[in-house]
């Protein structure tokens, strides 16, 4: 009886999960099936969930020369990849060195500085956007990848996450390494950094997807079409929606490939990252 | 034999890169942003912002002859309405899903991964995926409803209210639920098993257990996600811009859209935009303080 009761609730939960899955996934499937219908079929065929004839021509044509003149999707893809990768590396480097100092070194002003940084997290970013543009303009980096990368790598939250993690590593390890003659930089690089790998992976993944998905800022600072990243680029593709449904949706799916791959391989870390941010142990 | 450490430059070398970037790309913009709210400023000229006191605020808040007055009222009202509707849904839907998953149905790991998936999409992808779903004639929803109800359903999802807002709220919940879901699920799983079992033996049903044990147990996470989600939703931009373009009749125009247009439009009135940004920012801070107070644990 007890066992049946336990299973009963699991069966109800399973049914609800299946229903929720249908709700969540159907729009995605419908759009995917639309993207593998020919434009002619979409225009004349009316509503249909499944394609009459499966074709990948929309995907192929997106990369063809006709389309790429006004929507250089390959170029955008490359730009995004460059920005996201450079940003990820810099974020990991800059926030981990900083976190190392706040977690494991002593220096005058440390606590004041650290808590000041933490307090700025509550400052609404909307106030910064306009002056930030002016600063990038003054530095002469408008319409370059640096306007996308530089303002996004000094994030305070990452320092907080990494510092928390570093604080859990025994201090004796540093002392032992000091006795062996290692300097502070060697301790950071050889000892602490490898031990922090779990939190660094989390930081890196969120940096990557954050950079890849950034929309408002790139659409402000990038003027040239061929220098755009893919997320604001897709907004341009959307403008072709009236005539090219299939192409537009295909573009949407293509633009998600890198983050999807990262997610497939590192799904556990995403979950762990969300939990770390919320301060719960999973 | 403890010696007082002598001053060393090393720690400062470690924090310098972040600090320098932080000052240039965060601190200065923050200070300038506050100052700019009290100025007249065109960002496309080299001229510095000209201090003009409370003039921007006077125009935006009281001068109904200016378009800024109408924009701010409309943008603020739309944004606040959106926040009021979408935030509870972005908390309750994932909470409901987390409770279901916490019973560990077969394949719960798979379901969790699936529900989280939209979270990694960019707003452009989200809109491109959903745009055709909302299509009036060939879209999924109208055709599904037509089939279900047996009569023609012809809803103009993206250019008639209240459907346009419904469409925006649906994709927002779909997009955002994964993050909160994972947080709640971890928190629920972190509640000690024996507490649950004791309540079960005492005859508390699933609903009572949820109210008496689960909910208080995950209150810190609810508080955290509530504040973060609220702040996030105040920044509503991409959904409205790409899905409805602010329409119909500017009814889905958001604060962020106005700020962006005023500051970066060709006749850049960045001072006005900065005043609006400062007011939105102030509202965000006040709201998160109130939410924090309301949901704080009483020990």
- Chain-wide mean pLDDT for chain A? 90
Q: Are B90 and B173 in contact (CB under 8 A)?
A: yes
Q: Do B112 and A271 touch (CB under 8 A)?
A: yes
Q: CA A268, A269, A274, A278: dihedral to nearest 10 degrees?
A: 110
Query: Within 10 Å of residue A167's Cβ, how many Cβ atoms?
Result: 12
Q: Do B186 and A150 touch (CB under 8 A)?
A: no
- Residues within 8 A of B (CB atoms), A 186-245 only: 188, 209, 212-213, 215-216, 220, 230-235, 237-238, 241, 245
Q: Do A27 and B133 touch (CB under 8 A)?
A: yes
Q: Does A265 touch chain B (CB under 8 A)?
A: no
Q: Do A270 and B120 touch (CB under 8 A)?
A: yes
Q: Do A271 and B186 touch (CB under 8 A)?
A: yes
Which pLDDT band holds residue A12 (cuts at 50, 70, 90)? very high
Residues of chain A contacting B29 with CB distance shorter than 8 Å: 127-132, 135
CA distance B64 to chain A (A): 24
Q: Which DSSP letter does residue A36 get?
A: T
CA distance A201 to chain B (A): 16
Q: Do B18 and A241 touch (CB under 8 A)?
A: no
The segments of chain B whose pLDDT lies below 50 read 1
Q: Which DSSP letter does residue A109 get?
A: T
Q: Do B140 and A133 touch (CB under 8 A)?
A: no
- Residues within 8 A of B (CB atoms), A 19-58 only: 20-21, 24-28, 30-31, 34, 42, 46-47, 49
Residues of chain B contacting A12 with CB distance shorter than 8 Å: 103
Q: Does A158 touch chain B (CB under 8 A)?
A: no
Mutate one of B3, B5, B14, B96 to test the A interface: name it (highest A CB count within 10 A). Answer: B14
Residues of chain B contacting A184 with CB distance shorter than 8 Å: 10-11, 14
Phi, psi of A224, rounded to the nearest 5 degrees: -80, 135
Residue A229, helix vs strand vs coil: coil
Residues of chain A contacting B256 with CB distance shorter than 8 Å: 126, 216
Q: Which DSSP letter does residue A123 get?
A: S
Q: Which of A166, A157, A241, A244 is nearest to A199 (CA)?
A: A166
Going through A45-148 in order, the beta strands assigned E by DSSP cover: none
pLDDT per residue as tens digits for the range A193-251: 999 999 999 999 999 999 999 999 999 999 999 999 999 999 888 877 777 888 889 99
Q: Do A128 and B33 touch (CB under 8 A)?
A: yes
Q: Considering the domain B28-119+162-295, what is its CATH architecture?
A: Orthogonal Bundle (1.10)
pLDDT per residue as tens digits for the range B120-141: 999 999 999 999 999 988 899 9
**Greatest CA separation for chain A:** 78
pLDDT of residue A269: 85
Residues of chain A contacting B124 with CB distance shorter than 8 Å: 215, 230-235, 237-238, 252, 255
pLDDT of residue B297: 66
| Percent of chain A predicted with pLDDT > 90 | 67
| Alpha-carbon gap, residue B113 to B92, rounded angstroms | 19
Mutate one of A1, A6, A7, A17 to test the B interface: name it (highest B CB count within 10 A). Answer: A17
Buried b (16+ CB within 10 A) or exposed e, A147-159: bbbbbbbbbbebb
In this structure, whether the domain defined by A68-278 belongs to CATH 1.10.3720.10 is answered with: yes
pLDDT tops 60 at residue A58? yes
pLDDT of residue A282: 46
Could you tell me which residues come within 8 angstroms of residue B229 by beta carbon, excluding any fewer than 6 positions away?
B87, B90, B91, B176, B180
Residues of chain A contacting B176 with CB distance shorter than 8 Å: none
Q: Does A118 touch chain B (CB under 8 A)?
A: no
pLDDT of residue B182: 92
What residue of A is the nearest CA neighbor of B25? A151
Phi-psi domain of A10 (left: phi exceeds 0; alpha: psi -120 through 50; beta: other): alpha
What residue of A is the nearest CA neighbor of B45? A134
**Greatest CA separation for chain B:** 89
Residues of chain B contacting A243 with CB distance shorter than 8 Å: none
CA distance A65 to chain B (A): 22
DSSP code per residue over chain B? -PPPPPP-SHHHHHHHHHHHHHIIIIIHHHHHHHHHTTEE--TTSSPPPEE-TTHHHHHHHH-TTSHHHHHHHHHHHHHHHHHHHHHHHHHHHHHHHHHHHHT--TTHHHHHHHHHGGGGS-HHHHHHHHHTTT-TTT-HHHHHHHHHHSS-----TTTSTTHHHHHHHHHHHHHHHHHHHHHHHHHHHTS-HHHHHHHHHTT--HHHHIIIIIHHHTHHHHHHHHHHHHHHHHT--HHIIIIITT-STTTT--HHHHHHHHHHSTT--HHHHHHHHHHHHHHHHHHHHHHHHHH----
Looking up tokens 């500085």 gives: A113
Residue A65 belongs to what H/E stretch? Answer: helix A65-68
Q: Which of B86, B80, B291, B99 is nearest to B206 (CA)?
A: B99
Q: What is the mean pLDDT of residues A48-59?
A: 88
Q: Does A178 touch chain B (CB under 8 A)?
A: no
A&B contacts, CB < 8 Å: 291
What residue of B is the nearest CA neighbor of A266? B113
A27: nearest CB among B101, B129, B277: B129
A31: nearest CB among B133, B186, B231: B133
pLDDT per residue as tens digits for the range B245-278: 998 999 999 999 999 999 999 889 999 999 999 9
Which pLDDT band holds residue A144 (cuts at 50, 70, 90)? very high
Burial of A68 (0-12, 13-18, 19+ CB in 10 A): middle
């Amino acid at each position: 009886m007890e066992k049946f009761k336990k299973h009963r609730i699991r069966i109800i939960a399973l049914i609800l999960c299946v229903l929720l899955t249908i709700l969540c996934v159907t729009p995605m499937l419908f759009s995917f099936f639309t993207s593998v219908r020919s434009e002619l079929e979409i225009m004349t065929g009316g509503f249909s969930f499944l394609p009459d004839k499966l074709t990948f021509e929309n995907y192929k044509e997106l990369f063809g020369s006709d389309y790429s003149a006004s929507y250089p999707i390959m170029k955008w893809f490359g730009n995004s990849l460059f920005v996201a990768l450079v940003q990820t590396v810099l974020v990991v480097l800059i926030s981990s060195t900083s976190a190392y100092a706040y977690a494991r070194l002593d220096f005058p002003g440390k606590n004041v500085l650290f808590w000041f940084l933490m307090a700025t997290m509550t400052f609404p970013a909307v106030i910064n956007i306009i002056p930030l543009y002016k600063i990038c303009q003054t530095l002469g980096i408008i319409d370059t990848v640096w306007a996308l990368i530089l303002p996004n790598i000094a994030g305070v939250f990452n320092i907080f996450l990494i510092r928390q993690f570093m604080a859990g590593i025994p201090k004796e390890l540093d002392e032992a390494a000091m006795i062996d003659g290692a300097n502070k930089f060697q301790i950071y690089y050889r000892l602490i950094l490898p031990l922090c790998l779990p939190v660094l992976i989390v930081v890196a993944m969120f940096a990557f997807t954050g950079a890849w998905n950034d929309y408002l800022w790139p659409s402000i600072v990038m003027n040239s079409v061929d220098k755009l990243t893919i997320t604001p680029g897709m907004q341009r593709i959307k403008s072709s929606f009236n005539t090219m449904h299939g192409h537009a949706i295909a573009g949407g799916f293509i633009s998600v490939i890198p983050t999807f791959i990262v997610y497939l391989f590192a799904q556990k870390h995403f979950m762990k990252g969300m939990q770390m941010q919320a301060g719960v142990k999973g | 034999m403890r010696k007082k450490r002598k001053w060393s430059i090393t720690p400062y070398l470690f924090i310098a890169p972040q600090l320098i970037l932080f000052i240039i790309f965060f601190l200065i913009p923050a200070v300038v942003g506050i100052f700019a709210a009290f100025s007249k400023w065109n960002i496309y000229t080299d001229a510095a912002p000209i201090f003009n006191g409370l003039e921007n605020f006077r125009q935006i808040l009281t001068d109904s002859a200016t378009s800024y007055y109408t924009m701010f009222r409309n943008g603020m009202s739309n944004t606040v309405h959106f926040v009021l509707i979408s935030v509870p849904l972005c908390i309750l839907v994932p909470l409901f899903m987390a409770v279901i998953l916490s019973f560990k149905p077969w394949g719960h790991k798979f379901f969790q991964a699936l529900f989280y998936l939209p979270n990694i999409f960019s707003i452009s992808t989200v809109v491109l995926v959903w745009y055709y779903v909302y299509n009036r004639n060939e879209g999924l929803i109208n055709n599904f409803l037509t089939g279900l109800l047996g009569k023609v359903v012809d809803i103009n999802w993206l250019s008639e209210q209240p459907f346009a807002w419904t469409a925006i709220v649906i994709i927002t919940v779909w997009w955002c639920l994964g993050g909160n879901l994972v947080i709640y699920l971890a928190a629920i799983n972190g509640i000690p098993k024996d507490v649950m079992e004791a309540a079960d033996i005492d005859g508390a049903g699933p609903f009572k257990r949820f109210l008496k044990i689960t909910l208080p147990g995950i209150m810190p996470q609810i508080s955290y996600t509530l504040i973060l989600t609220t702040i996030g939703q105040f920044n509503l931009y991409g959904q409205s811009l790409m899905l409805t373009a602010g329409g119909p009749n500017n009814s889905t125009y958001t604060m962020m859209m106005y700020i962006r247009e005023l500051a970066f439009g060709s006749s850049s009135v960045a001072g006005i935009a900065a005043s609006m940004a400062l007011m939105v920012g102030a509202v965000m801070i006040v709201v998160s303080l109130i939410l924090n107070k309301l949901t704080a644990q009483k020990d």
